[in-house]
Amino acid sequence: MHHVHHDLKVYGGIKLFVGTGSPELGQKIADYLGQPVSEREVIEFPNENLFVKLQGSVRGQDVYVIQSTSSPVHRNLMELLIMIQTLRLDSAARITAVVPYLCYGRSDKKDQPRVPITARLIADMLEVAGADRYMTLDPHAGQVQGFFSIPGDVLTASHLLVEHINKNLRAEMHDPVVVSVDLGFAKKGRNYAADMDMPIAFIEKRRHGNDANAEALTLIGDVQDRDVIIVDDEVDTGGSIAQAVNVVKQKGARNVYLAFVHAILSRNGAERLAALPIKHIITTDSAPLSADKMRFLEGRLTVLSVAPLLGEVIKRAHEGRSVGEMFNE
């Protein structure tokens, strides 16, 4: 802690805690900040109950808990909640839940009768556990911000993907067009297209029931003889992507690239992507990617780290400086 501004310090020092759901990302954020990861014990008892013990005091400190809630979702979520409560009970001055990938983001509205709005429940749980603030990346729906009463930094990693494409892939692309994988992502897809100065096309799909296998139907826009960059916020089983790739290929697309933030890749998602005629995949480490999944996509996968982005936001939050300035806002 050498060169810290000794202007106005409301809280003590930064303390970083990392859950078992984000070990590598947590360490990278700590490295970016030049801070150690605070020691803690997390034990799962034989009866599946979780136990957390801090190895040092956090009284009066500015604490950040880094934990993605990807698979195993409920284990990671409960661990995060228990860790937050433990910090609260030890009198931390301020607790920020840093949740790069927030689970249940798709359950954001009642789109049919007799269903929950689980994203709202998750927000309530984080608050009740004792979080004072939160940080997350690319939630599936923007209104999730309104489910929290506590302030938060809802960030996007899209500029990392855009920057990488512009710098490393753009030169080899022929007449590229951005394709939004569904109409729900159309606005965000449009932002990708604008940032890369490319036209956009949309896939309109119709779902049947609650089956994860949606039905991709119509392509709105032109991909004939063009390279295509399919964009989405998260890829889960890869079903929608498989349909998108097939549709654009049928419509005469040349090379297909795929860019998305959260690599959830459940079940055989990685295998499924590997079997598709995709030239290159660009994603981030917001959720950990196992070695097995990486192996399926070897040579065709670029994983950009969100650690510098989250690290910088943590630093600014701690020092009480603007985060918007990072994005010229």
Q: What is the pLDDT of residue 277?
A: 98
Give the 3-state secondary structure of residue 281: strand
Is 21 a member of any domain? yes
Residue 315 bears catalytic tag: no
Q: Do the bridges between strand 215-220 and strand 200-206 make them parallel or antiparallel, or are there none, so unpaired? A: antiparallel
Q: How many angstroms separate the CA atoms of 106 and 139, rounded?
A: 9
Nearest 5°: the CA angle 94, 98, 100 is 170
Is 270 a member of any domain? yes
Do the Cβ atoms of 258 and 281 come closer than 8 Å? yes
Is 7 a member of any domain? no
The domain in which residue 217 lies consists of 158-304
Q: Do the bridges between strand 133-137 and strand 50-54 make them parallel or antiparallel, or are there none, so unpaired? A: unpaired
Residues 181 and 318 in one domain: no
Residues 180 and 57 in one domain: no
Q: Give the rounded distance of the alpha carbon of 247 from its chain centre.
A: 26
Residues 178 and 274 in one domain: yes
Residues 319 and 208 in one domain: no
- Least Cα distance to 314 among 10, 57, 15, 9 occurs for 15
Structural domains in the chain (count): 2
Confidence (pTM): 0.93
Residues 164 and 298 in one domain: yes
Is 136 a member of any domain? yes
Residues 172 and 279 in one domain: yes
Catalytic residue among 205, 249, 251, 279: 205
Is 6 a member of any domain? no
Residues 204 and 299 in one domain: yes
Residues 51 and 181 in one domain: no
Q: Copy the structure tokens of residue 210.
A: 């609650």
- Least Cα distance to 312 among 303, 321, 304 occurs for 321
Strand order in the sheet with 301-304: 215-220, 200-206, 177-180, 228-235, 256-263, 280-284, 301-304
CATH of the domain at 261: 3.40.50.2020
Q: Do the bridges between strand 40-44 and strand 50-54 make them parallel or antiparallel, or are there none, so unpaired? A: antiparallel
Residues 262 and 321 in one domain: no
| pLDDT digits (tens), the chain, 329 positions | 555 555 555 678 999 999 999 999 999 999 999 999 999 999 999 999 999 999 999 999 999 999 999 999 999 999 999 999 999 999 999 999 999 999 999 999 999 999 999 999 999 999 999 999 999 999 999 999 999 999 999 999 999 999 999 999 999 999 999 999 988 999 999 999 999 999 999 999 876 766 666 575 799 999 999 999 999 999 999 999 999 999 999 999 999 999 999 999 999 999 999 999 999 999 999 999 999 999 999 999 999 999 999 999 999 999 999 999 998 76
Q: How many angstroms separate the CA atoms of 279 and 289, rounded?
A: 19
